[in-house]
Amino acid sequence: MPIQVNELSKQFKMFKREAGLSGAFRSFFKRKYETFHALKEISVQIEDGEILGILGENGAGKTTLIKLLVGLLHPTSGEVNINGFTPWNRKSNFLKQISVVMGQKNQLWWDIPASESFLLNQKIYEIPQSQYKNTLDELVDLLSVRDKLNVQVRRLSLGERMKMEIIASLLHNPKIVLLDEPTIGLDVISQLKIREFVKYYNEKYKTTFLLTSHYMHDIQALCKRVFVIHKGASLYDGDFEELVNRVNPKRKLLFEFNDKPDYNKIEKLSEKYNFHINNTILQSELPDKELTKLVSELFKLGVPASITMEDLPVEDTMRSFFTDPEKFLK
Amino acid sequence: MEDMVHRYFSLWISFFNNSLTRDLEFKANFIGGLLVDIIYYGIQFFFFSIIYSYVDAIGVFTREDVMIFLVITFLADTFYMFFFSGNLFNLNRWMVRGDLDYFLLKPMNSQFMVSFRYVKSYALVSVVILLIMLTTLVSAYSAPIGFINVIAFVFSFLMGTILWYGVDFIISSSCFWFKNFSVSGWLSHEILKFSTRPDSIYTGLLRKMLLSMIPMILIASIPTRTLLYGPDVRYLLWQFFIAIFFFLLTRIIWKKGLIRYESASS
């Protein structure tokens, strides 16, 4: 069990000020503080080689959890054990086993080529030359950025920069990688490339990944299991598909008849099922079981030219989930 | 221990290489930095030339002494700038923007990282020029300056640099407590000005403070006295004691600060 989190809580003391200039003056002389509970008794266990998605709306506590797991923050209470280490003790041997990629921050030197930052990381992580060369060769080829190695970071596109950030974070072959919004702001192709890369890397090296992303396609493509945080508290820990089904169990059906069906029979069916029909094309969004029943009824009405059944867009499903997560998980 | 010294020295060399590569990218910045130094030195020389056109000496410092004192002051300033100022001056910004996160995630001493990561490489040119000036002035000095004086001066100068690092580091680290203390760099800069005047002008309580709590006299005046008038063991021991004290204080404050660190939201 590489990561064990027990009842982890983090509180911040926040300065509270009244609005307006008079409020600013009053608070200059007399400050009011309030305690913000960023995380409330979070417990989670993560297995070796797992890719865990951490979900939650903005300000839910995802990044705070990641920062506690890598030892950037000290908790108010609770414990974290990562391969026998307590992260906030920041032991070198622990820091050599982990890595973090933050989509909105850079570890690379801005004005010089990424290759120079890689060499610096080689020194910092004490990576033997042959291992460094092999790892770098593999990563630049996988992410197709060999021709960009000697270009100043500031001249790279956002996608290329993110790929370089990922390379910098994997040069030392960490056992645990925390990806905080790694695809934020990237175009669809770059998002896909990074997803494919993470999947490949995880399968090949059995590296544990913790991923936060607002792009549900990232989560869907990479994470079997998700951990949902809502207002700092743990809300769901389990299968992602199961969560999606729980939020929206419906699937979409497109049934195209060869010839126009009998409209009397169709009208009868519409009393039992919810669908739209336009000439020969019938569309419906229903839970799986009902949809199967509807399809068998439709077969009785005529031969289909084509049938398509698909899941509803996961982004839409999860958007509605985050409007009121507690409602769906009661 | 030897391995650790070798590792950190080699890391510093890498920081220097990256900083130099970066600084050479921007020719105007590189040359501009040198120009700023030259203008600053020129103004200081001019200021003291005016004073010495009215008086023969300030305390024990004659005009000749003050010229050497000024070069030592500039050398201390430039030496400090070369190693530390590109880092500590930015600590508050790194903290507020969350850039500090990546520094803290590296498997190395985080205080070393935030103190040495950016080297102001152009300052090396100034250091060389100032060393040449100092050697010339010392060779032409009216009294002989012995080898012991030079050795003791090097020691005293290094202690002064450690002291200045300690004071600047403590002021900069206060951002852990104040959340945003962007004036820290300027506050340090103003405090440093106490060290750019010969110590003879400070008397009474102010002198006591500048020898202990805000030990600015120990940065350039004591090294100058050591070089020109010979080592005073009491001053050197005091300098050593205060330097060690301030350095240990930086370790404690850094560790306490890290516990309070809240990072920045993503």
Give the pLDDT score at B112: 96
Q: Which of B106, B261, B266 lies at the smallest CB-CB distance from A124?
A: B106
Has residue B266 been placed in a domain? no
DSSP 3-state helix, strand, coil percentages of chain B (rounded to 5)?
80, 0, 20
Minimum Cα–Cα distance from B103: chain A residue? A107
Minimum Cα–Cα distance from A91: chain B residue? B107
Q: How far is A327 from chain B (nearest CA, A)?
A: 27
Has residue B219 been placed in a domain? yes
Contact between chains at A124 and B104 (C-beta distance less than 8 A): no
What is the DSSP code string of B57-106? EETTEEHHHHHHHHHHHHHHHHHHIIIIIHHHTTHHHHHHHTTHHHHHTS
Q: How far is B98 from chain A (nearest CA, A)?
A: 8
A57 touching chain B per CB within 8 A: no
Contact between chains at B22 and A126 (C-beta distance less than 8 A): no
Q: How far is A108 from chain B (nearest CA, A)?
A: 10
Contact between chains at B106 and A98 (C-beta distance less than 8 A): no
B55: exposed, middle or buried (C-beta count within 10 Å: 0-12, 13-18, 19+)?
Answer: exposed
A151 touching chain B per CB within 8 A: no
Longest dimension (CA), chain A: 80
DSSP at B133: H
A225 contacts A44 by C-beta, under 8 angstroms:
no
Give the pLDDT score at B96: 87
Q: How far is B95 from chain A (nearest CA, A)?
A: 12
Tokens coding A189? 């192709």
Question: What ipTM was predicted for this assembly?
Answer: 0.86
pTM here is 0.85
Tally C-beta pairs within 8 A across A and B: 76
Residue from B8, B26, B102 to probe the interface with A (highest A Cβ count within 10 Å): B102
A322 contacts A275 by C-beta, under 8 angstroms:
no
Q: How far apart are CA B105 and CA A43, in angstroms?
A: 23
Q: Which of A12, A59, A93 lies at the smallest CB-CB distance from B262?
A: A12
Q: How far apart are CA B139 and CA B209, in angstroms?
A: 34
Q: Which of A72, A74, A123 lies at the smallest CB-CB distance from B101?
A: A72
Q: Which of B11, B21, B25 lies at the smallest CB-CB distance from A124?
A: B11
Q: Which of A90, A95, A105 lies at the smallest CB-CB distance from B98?
A: A105
**Other Cβ atoms within 10 Å of B125 Cβ, number:** 16
Has residue B147 been placed in a domain? yes
The C-alpha torsion from B232 through B233 and B234 to B236, rounded to 10°, is 90
Give the pLDDT score at B265: 67
- From chain B, the residues in CB contact with A125 under 8 A are 107
Has residue B216 been placed in a domain? yes
Contact between chains at A124 and B107 (C-beta distance less than 8 A): yes
- From chain B, the residues in CB contact with A71 under 8 A are 104-105
Give the pLDDT score at A155: 94
Nearest-CA neighbor of A268 among A238, A300, A236, A292? A300
Give the pLDDT score at A1: 55
A103 touching chain B per CB within 8 A: yes
Q: How far apart are CA B107 and CA B113, in angstroms?
A: 10
DSSP at B215: -
Q: How far is A177 from chain B (nearest CA, A)?
A: 12
Q: Which residues of B touch chain A, with CB atoms under 8 Å apart?
A: 7, 10-11, 14-15, 17-18, 21-22, 25-26, 98-99, 101-102, 104-108, 110, 258-259, 261-263, 265-266
B94 contacts B261 by C-beta, under 8 angstroms:
no
- Parent domain of B211: 2-260
- The predicted-structure confidence for B134-173, as pLDDT tens digits, reads as follows 999 999 998 889 999 999 999 999 999 999 999 999 999 9
Has residue B265 been placed in a domain? no
B214 contacts B194 by C-beta, under 8 angstroms:
yes
Which regions of chain B are under pLDDT 50? none
Contact between chains at A95 and B99 (C-beta distance less than 8 A): no
Contacts of B218 (CB under 8 A, 6+ apart): B159, B160, B163, B211, B238, B239, B242, B243
Q: State the SS3 of chain A.
A: CCEEEEEEEEEEEEEECCCHHHHHHHHHHCCEEEEEEEEEEEEEEECCCCEEEEECCCCCCHHHHHHHHCCCCCCCEEEEEECCECHHHCCHHHHCCEEEEECCCCCCCCCCEHHHHHHHHHHHCCCCHHHHHHHHHHHHHHCCCHHHCCCEHHHCCHHHHHHHHHHHHHCCCCCEEEEECCCCCCCHHHHHHHHHHHHHHHHHHCCEEEEECCCHHHHHHHCCEEEEEECCEEEEEEEHHHHHHHHCCEEEEEEEECCCCCHHHHHHHHHHCCCEEECCEEEEEEEHHHHHHHHHHHHHHCCEEEEEEEECCHHHHHHHHHHCHHHHCC
Q: Which of B14, B99, B108 lies at the smallest CB-CB distance from A105?
A: B99
Q: How far is A111 from chain B (nearest CA, A)?
A: 6
Has residue B66 been placed in a domain? yes
Contact between chains at B266 and A120 (C-beta distance less than 8 A): no
Q: Quote the number of domains for chain B.
A: 1
* Separation in Å, CA A47 to CA A2, A4, A175, A222: 6, 9, 11, 15
Contact between chains at B106 and A102 (C-beta distance less than 8 A): no
Each residue's pLDDT tens digit in chain A (330 positions)? 589 999 999 998 877 777 788 887 787 778 788 888 999 999 999 999 999 999 988 888 999 999 999 999 999 999 999 999 999 999 999 999 999 999 888 899 999 999 999 999 999 999 999 999 999 999 999 999 999 999 999 999 999 999 999 999 999 999 999 999 888 888 888 889 999 999 999 999 999 999 998 888 889 999 999 999 999 999 999 999 888 888 888 888 999 998 888 888 888 888 899 999 988 899 999 988 889 999 999 988 888 899 998 888 888 888 888 888 877 776
Q: Which of B17, B25, B104 lies at the smallest CB-CB distance from A72?
A: B104
Residue from A10, A112, A117 to probe the interface with B (highest B Cβ count within 10 Å): A112
Q: Which of A74, A104, A120 lies at the smallest CB-CB distance from B259?
A: A74
Tokens coding A182? 């790694």
Q: Which of B22, B259, B263 lies at the smallest CB-CB distance from A109?
A: B22
B97 contacts B264 by C-beta, under 8 angstroms:
yes
- From chain A, the residues in CB contact with B105 under 8 A are 70-72, 95, 98-100
